[in-house]
Amino acid sequence: MQQNWTVTVKHVDRMKSRSGKVYNKTNISKPQFYNPIKQNQTHINKIVNLSDIHKSIPVINIVVFGDRAFIRDVSHSHDIYVINRREILSFVTNQKRIIKNSISTDQ
């Protein structure tokens, strides 16, 4: 799994990119950012280490991008989710169904 991800940003005006090189002919910049899957995993590890919540309900690694984001080339395991904002409702509904079937109300 890569340490950093790259985002391609097309600038609509001639503003300067905050990070990454701006290619003048195309007005595109390609800054890198820390892999959000790894960042979430750090948060999950803290939750698991500081509480027992994970024994009752699953703690899910989900990365959500805005609707305009085009997600590609994302390699990860089957229990990590990388989705767009418009997919949240169906994702949560599906996870709720899965959890409801595997955890009793008392748990």
Q: Where are the domains of the chain?
A: 1-34, 35-107
Give the pLDDT of residue 107.
Answer: 60
Distance CA 8, CA 42 (A): 25
User: What are the 10-residue block averages of pLDDT along the chain, 107 residues in total?
Assistant: 85 59 72 93 92 82 89 77 93 87 64
Give the pLDDT of residue 16.
Answer: 53
Q: Is 71 left (phi over 0), alpha (psi -120 to 50) or beta?
A: beta
pTM above 0.85, yes or no: no
Give the pLDDT of residue 15.
Answer: 52
Give the pLDDT of residue 105.
Answer: 61
